[in-house]
Chains A and B, each alone.
Chain A
């Protein structure tokens, strides 16, 4: 995640840093960020759409479009725009089940 992020912080930058892992890489966010903001201040993609096969980066930010669900390693799902970050959170932008099936084939 070296590229510049989609989102830009314009204020409230003095908050406590929070560390999470996204697809195995370290990402630093701020306490009070949503998961969506953590990912999109670090990069420009949140997940891929299964039908268009293109990246998505959320759409409504208010829990209506459901275009921001990502995964936990156990296969559980997280709605990124309404879930706050927490230290040590581990997240995947591709379904772990899908990754298994790709590896198996």
Chain B
């Protein structure tokens, strides 16, 4: 029998464990990742020549990061690893690639494809969010971890989710000035009220630790805020917010990091033809898969945050389980007891993911109160008012129709940063449930590829 060809997209926690599992069963998988080094988002490695140690980079997670990196490095020579390689579409049983630096395109046919594409920040627009100097929380962390830079000289962090206090803590610890943390949730109050959850959610315990640390350094923390606007014409000069008691306040700063948790990166699953289902807490349509990660498309498996945001530990389990499923489905003997244990672990992960979302809810309701001139699509300058008009005057309640009529989600980012907000705005305006607006369909290329390669590919 010819060995099955297994292709893994993503070399983060999920992709690394998938690759390791395939190698352990005597096969040589192809591992493709856009990033120059393995590690994914949370365990992103700094460039060669940087010298901070793992404890500085990864804090409490230093041990896990080290283990994951060692696991990937041990696969050298046993996997066909192509770093710096974007997968821009999945078509006819093959993934199509383009090198990040614009070289020749590639094509990797597969018998089994494991998509471990991770997540990106969930954002909700607010007036001034497109001002130069406003970044996602994830970006603020990438600047520090990957480039040893702070996004500004005096930074305000805004939003909700585990990253909010973590990134503020990492900044203050690195010696950057944190002007304030503006929490839209009231995290401390909530977490204190949930001692039971605390026991099962180490993320909350860590969050409270960071919060206490920041407080003890005198860093201003405001809970239950609503963002009002970012001031500054050509660059950030300050942030205005409404406090829990309803008064408007302004904090001078030169940078803002904001975000409301993470959203799955699902475009490749879409292009592969996977069926999607609506997930009400996040209001995201997610690719469907069974407990092991099998999608409804034969040979396509989904793992990690790209399937459902559950965090790094569960991403590792999901990567291993999806690989075992892919191997087992191809007649290779796999450890059934191990699969059962991983399934139980992931089931816990599902509950943990839901609990996290309950503690750090995405403030969807902010969208209803946005002034209509607020930019919704940062690529093409489409406003909240344009979206409301599409739903109202043009009767475009479905997002792909609204896209055709108003250019929402048509820009270079493919609707990653406006699509979920646009769907809620369309549904709110039409007085319908949010899922009625559906989701922006994925399109190739999932990210722009340098023109040279695009031409060569067509």
A48 to chain B: closest CB distance in Å? 9
Determine whether B27 belongs to the interface, using a CB cutoff of 8 Å to chain A.
no
Residues of B within 8 A of A34 (CB): 146-147
What is the minimal beta-carbon distance from B47 to any residue of chain A, in angstroms?
4
Q: What is the chain B residue whose CB lies nearest that of A14?
A: B51
Contact of B135 (CB < 8 Å), options: A55, A59, A83: A59
Contacts of A65 in B (CB 8 A): 378, 412-413, 416-417
Give Cα distance in the complex from A3 to B446, angstroms. Answer: 37
- Which B residues lie within 8 Å of A12 (CB)? 46, 50-52, 148
Asked if residues A6 and B138 are in contact (CB atoms below 8 Å), the reply is no
Contacts A10-B149, A10-B150, A65-B417 given; does A45 touch B235 at CB 8 Å: yes
Which residue in B101, B134, B139, B381 is a CB contact (below 8 Å) of A62?
A: B139
Q: How far is the CA of A12 from the CA of B416 in the complex (A)?
A: 32
Q: Nearest Cβ distance between residue B257 and chain A, in whole angstroms?
A: 10
Asked if B174 and A11 sit within 8 Å, CB to CB, the answer is yes
**Interface SS of chain A:** loop
B100 with A82: CB separation less than 8 A = yes
Which chain A residues border B20 with CB–CB below 8 Å? none
Q: Decide if B234 touches A10 in the complex (CB within 8 Å).
A: no
When the two chains form the complex, which single residue of B49, B100, B136, B450 contacts A77, counting CB atoms closer than 8 Å? B450
B-side interface size class: 35 or more
* Secondary structure class of chain B's binding surface, majority of residues: loop
Which B residues touch A77, using CB under 8 A?
450-451
Collect the chain A residues with CB atoms within 8 Å of residue B143's CB: 7, 37, 61
Given A12-B52, A77-B450, CB of A57 within 8 Å of CB of B133: yes
A31 within 8 A of B: yes
Q: Establish whether residues B142 and A6, one from each chain, have CB atoms under 8 Å apart when the complex forms.
A: no
Chain A neighbourhood of B102, CB < 8 A = 76
A34 to B133, CA, bound (A): 17
Asked if B139 contacts A58 (CB within 8 A), the reply is yes
Q: How many angstroms between the C-alpha atoms of A79 and B175 in the bound complex?
A: 29
Q: Which residues of B contact A76 (CB under 8 A)?
A: 102, 450-452
What's the Cα separation between A79 and B294 when bound, in Å? 34
- Kindly identify which residue among B48, B100, B151 contacts A7, using a CB–CB cutoff of 8 Å: B151
Q: List the A side residues contacting B14 at CB < 8 Å.
A: none
Those of A31-51 within 8 Å (CB) of chain B: 31-34, 37, 40-41, 44-46, 49, 51
Closest to A40 in B: B149
Task: List chain A residues, Cβ under 8 A from B147.
Answer: 7, 32-34, 37
Distance in Å: Cβ of A1 to nearest Cβ of chain B: 14
Residue B183 interfacial (CB < 8 Å): no
- Is B205 an interface residue, CB under 8 A from the partner? no
User: In the bound complex, what is the Cα–Cα distance between A4 and B175 (angstroms)?
Assistant: 18
Q: Which B residues have a C-beta under 8 Å from some C-beta of A? A: 34, 36, 41, 46-52, 56, 100-102, 120-121, 130-136, 138-139, 142-144, 146-153, 174-176, 233-235, 254-255, 265, 375, 378-381, 411-413, 416-417, 447-448, 450-452
Chain A residues with CB under 8 Å of chain B are: 4, 6-13, 15-16, 31-34, 37, 40-41, 44-46, 49, 51-52, 54-67, 69, 76-77, 79, 82-84
User: 13 new A-B pairs (CB below 8 Å) besides A7-B150, A11-B56, A60-B138?
Assistant: A6-B235, A7-B149, A8-B153, A11-B52, A12-B51, A15-B50, A34-B146, A37-B147, A44-B133, A52-B381, A55-B132, A67-B379, A76-B451
